[in-house]
A and B are shown apart, each in its own frame.
Chain A
Amino acid sequence: MDGNIIQQFLFYLSFPFVWFALIVVALISLCAALLGVTLVLKRYSFIGDGLSHVAFGALAVATALGVTQNTLVVLPVTVLVAMLLIGMGRNARIKGDAAIAMLSTGALAMGYLIMNVFSVSSNVSGDVCTTLFGSTSILTLKPADVFICLGFSVVVILVFIFFYNRIFAVTFDENFSEATGMKTFFYRGLLAVLTAVVIVLGMKLVGSLLISALVVFPALSAMRLFKSFKSVVLFSAVMAVICAVSGIAISVVCSFPPGATIVMMDIILYIVCELAGRLVKR
């Protein structure tokens, strides 16, 4: 059976489209994992969750309006909300988590309502399921989606590498960074924009309910085992790619839903790291 799965997967690899899917999924998981380390450490991971619901609402509106390239609507809306949430940072009047709970449940409800009322599709619950949990088959990705994902994720990775040292400094100690003249406001904004981009891109693959798993799991797994920021970032990036690729492989061969399969791989990774971490400590 094992050899069979691998053989079958190799057979699928003869289709260029499966390659495309693999590359895109790997890149997006990589981006999510890179940002995830900072988001988790800054206690911003719930913002990722909130944003994905906002993106869901925006997607519903875009679909109802009949916009074909819906990323062009969803992305700006999500970026804007992200800036508001992270940007207001420490000076927030409303408690952060309460504001986000309001926003995300509100967006979710509105999105579902709009999809039901305005949908022209015959299979509304199927559509909803797809936006919440990702496409049921990776092969339903349109070529345009693939190229948008590719372009944006490369940009996210380059920006992250360029600002890596500063992102570390701001994550570790925002007070010190600000006091020594760094524009911490800029970095909070940057983080917001990158997070929003990754969430909107990832939503297509694993769906808006599951995208925060890609953000949170690799970082938490790496933090169980590693002590330096650099090793945590590197390990979570590598592991995210491995989980993504193996998840896709399994889902293609067994025709499992790809999003949920990748997240399952991430959960297994976390459990392994947690156990290994405990063993090492002894």
Chain B
Amino acid sequence: MNLIECRDLTLGYDDGIVAEHIDFTVEKGDYLCIVGENGAGKSTLMKTMLSLIKPAGGELKFSDELKRNEVGYLPQQTIVQRDFPANVREIVMSGNLSRMGFKPFYGKKEKKRADEAMEKLDITGLAKKSYRNLSGGQQQRVLLARAFCAADKLLILDEPVSGLDPKAAKEFYESVRKLHDEGVTIIMVSHDMHAALSDSDHILQIGGHKQLYFGKTEDYVKSKAYYKLGLNSHPRDSRKHYMAEYHKAEN
């Protein structure tokens, strides 16, 4: 079942086009990783999917099953000021708001949901802690719990591990995998090719103002786009090897 269907989408802002001819579908239960260089338009695609900005062209269809308030989002770098007073529970609870309509206060249902989200991400012990005193990894986990509290069908994560140390990143990926195993659909922008290849089942690569690849992860490692990427990101001496592999892939 298609949750999201994207046909010949053009991404852009008022002052210009970022990428064109984006074509992909996301099915229920998928784990899609979006890769590409800095400035390729990954965040722009995320924002378009969240209807924060309008598509400059093409079409982006959401299944009827997926209402807008059923999408959870982890923005790229939520820069919270150093002195923002908020504890973990307050932040996770605020994920509930999108589903509350005009109800002004949290009820039993919302509290239970927040508790479950915190439980799932192993941050129950941090509930009363101040957000600003947490480590980077813990902070991202709190924001993931908030996103999960907001929506348990689809989570959109934009470079969630940038700035985390390898261990924290690994733990974060584990949490995401756990949510995915429970049936949550995941769309994640990632810089970390290794994690993208090992965890995701689909890859979308954007670059040079267009889509370079969309398909199954297992096919991606055999694709032209993947070898081109290797060529760019590997040191000079291994170029030859990648060139050879690339030509093999082309034929």
Contacts and interface: CB of A to CB of B under 8 A. Distances in A.
Contacts of A166: 97
B86 A165 contact: no
Given A180-B150, A227-B85, A227-B87, A175 B78 contact: yes
Interface string A182-198: 10000000000000000
A226 B131 CA distance: 12
Given A165-B104, A176-B146, A180-B151, A228 B87 contact: yes
Given A163-B104, A169-B94, A179 B75 contact: yes
The bracket for how many chain B residues form the interface is 35 or more
A106 B73 CA distance: 43
Tell me the dominant secondary structure on chain B's binding face.
mixed
Contacts of B50: 179
Given A165-B94, A165-B105, A226 B78 contact: no
A165 B75 contact: no
B130 A182 contact: no
Contact of B97 (A165, A175, A230): A165
Contacts of B146: 176
Nearest to B97: A169
A183 to B, nearest CB: 11
Main secondary structure of the interface of A (DSSP, over half): helix
Nearest to A43: B81
A178 interface: yes
B83 interface: yes
A110 B97 CA distance: 44
Interface string B92-133: 011101100000111000000000000000000000111001
B73 A179 contact: yes
B83 A223 contact: yes
Contacts, number: 84
Nearest to A172: B86
Given A165-B106, A173-B80, A228-B130, A223 B85 contact: yes
Interface in A212-253: 222-223, 226-232
A151 interface: no
Given A179-B50, A179-B52, A172 B87 contact: no
A8 B231 CA distance: 86
Nearest to B110: A165
B145 to A, nearest CB: 12
A176 B86 contact: no
24 contacts: A162-B104, A164-B104, A165-B93, A165-B105, A168-B86, A168-B90, A169-B97, A172-B80, A172-B84, A172-B94, A175-B73, A175-B75, A176-B78, A180-B69, A180-B72, A180-B73, A180-B95, A180-B98, A180-B151, A182-B97, A228-B86, A228-B87, A229-B85, A229-B87
Interface of B: 47, 50, 52, 68-69, 71-73, 75, 78, 80-81, 83-87, 90-91, 93-95, 97-98, 104-106, 128-130, 133, 143, 146-147, 150-151, 156
